[in-house]
Amino acid sequence: MTYRVIALDVDGTLLNDDHEVTPRVREAVRAAARRGAEIVLCTGRGSTSALPVLDELGLQGTMITHNGASIVDSASRTVLFETAISPEAAEPYLAYLRDRQLHFDMNTSFDLFVNRLGDEAARMYAAMHARPILREISEGLPEHTVKLSVYAPKVALDGVEREWRELDRELLQYIRSGDEFIDVQHPHASKGKSLEKLAAIRGIPRGQVLAIGNYYNDIGMLAFAGHGVAMDNSPAEVKAEADSVTLSNNEDGVAAALERLGIF
């Protein structure tokens, strides 16, 4: 099978647990690009945080960021598509987070804003090449916000999810994008829907789309793609939605999948 689009999640998939692209993975992805496949980073990260990963691969192109809330062109730094959320819809979530003093950020397609920045959060952002912009609470939600992202220990976020089940998910949705992250977005935003939109723009049938991911926010793109690959470090529910399972992100799983599928 010839895959004309290869959608790659970043954290837990393309990167190992040390936030590195290993030489084997880098060469495998570059080889696939040289053979003519369009490499599309499809990530929960924001565009600015994802760009260094694309640069490390030595590639340019279109990226799907913020779990599908944005589609951006890396070369021109322009927004091709975004699903913004309104201040009214976001307010119940913001009030909850402020009341419990949980760390969160507010994201536009290219910028990330925070009301406060502690040492632990600062280290997390540095590891992800993100550059938070301080914004006073009185300034409200930034215009064109596409995502709220909550950062806290896993046990705390497990409790948040249980309590948020009572909120109206017709206005906004939330999705677990990592053990320590919950993302709040427009109900129509997802990696799967944006990957489908990009494939339609390119005129590429889903059978020629390959997707590789590792977490709950990747399920949509794994299900849409002609072939969806879950990493071995994925939860069981994610593996169940994939067509195949590769090695973990610490074992060059992306390279192993591309090699097994004969991509290069």
Q: Would you say 104 and 132 are in contact if contact means Cβ atoms under 8 Å apart? A: no
Instruction: Say how far apart CA 177 and CA 192 lie, in whole Å.
Output: 14
Instruction: Say how far apart CA 182 and CA 83 lie, in whole Å.
Output: 17
Instruction: Say how far apart CA 135 and CA 127 lie, in whole Å.
Output: 21
pLDDT at 1 over 90: no
The mean pLDDT of the chain is 95
| The pLDDT of residue 14 | 98
Query: Which of 8, 51, 68 lies closest to 33, judged by CA?
Result: 8
Query: Residue 125: which residues within 8 A CB-CB, separation 6 or more?
Result: 112, 117, 131, 132
pLDDT digits (tens, 9 = 90+) for 121-178: 999 999 999 999 999 999 999 999 999 999 999 999 999 999 998 776 778 999 999 9
CATH superfamily of 5-82+189-260: HAD superfamily/HAD-like (3.40.50.1000)
pLDDT digits (tens, 9 = 90+) for 88-106: 999 999 999 999 999 999 9
Instruction: Say how far apart CA 224 and CA 22 lie, in whole Å.
Output: 27
| The pLDDT of residue 107 | 97
**Token couple for 1:** 């099978």
Catalytic residue, chosen from 9, 11, 183, 252, is 9
Instruction: Give percent above pLDDT 90 in the chain.
Output: 93
SS3 210: strand
| The pLDDT of residue 263 | 87
Supply φ then ψ for residue 181, to 5 degrees. Answer: -135, 135
DSSP string spanning 122-169? Answer: HHHHHHTT---EE--GGG-SPTT--EEEEE--HHHHHHHHHHHTTS-T
Q: Do 5-82+189-260 and 87-185 come out as alike in CATH topology?
A: no
Lowest-pLDDT range of 19-23, 49-53, 149-153, 162-166? 162-166
Report the half-sphere exposure of 186 (CA within 13 A, side-chain side): 21
Supply φ then ψ for residue 117, to 5 degrees. Answer: -145, 105
Mind spelling out the 3-state secondary structure of 219-230?
A: HHHHHHCCEEEE
**Token couple for 258:** 């591309």
Is residue 218 annotated as part of the catalytic site, yes or no?
no
Instruction: Say how far apart CA 110 and CA 70 lie, in whole Å.
Output: 9
The residue assigned the tokens 């497990």 is 158
| The pLDDT of residue 170 | 76
Query: Residue 249: which residues within 8 A CB-CB, separation 6 or more?
Result: 12, 13, 14, 15, 16, 17, 214, 231, 233
Instruction: Say how far apart CA 30 and CA 205 lie, in whole Å.
Output: 23
pTM of the full structure: 0.91
87-185 — its CATH code? Answer: 3.30.1240.10
Radius of gyration of the CA atoms of the chain, in A: 18
pLDDT at 52 over 90: yes
Domain residue ranges in the chain:
5-82+189-260, 87-185
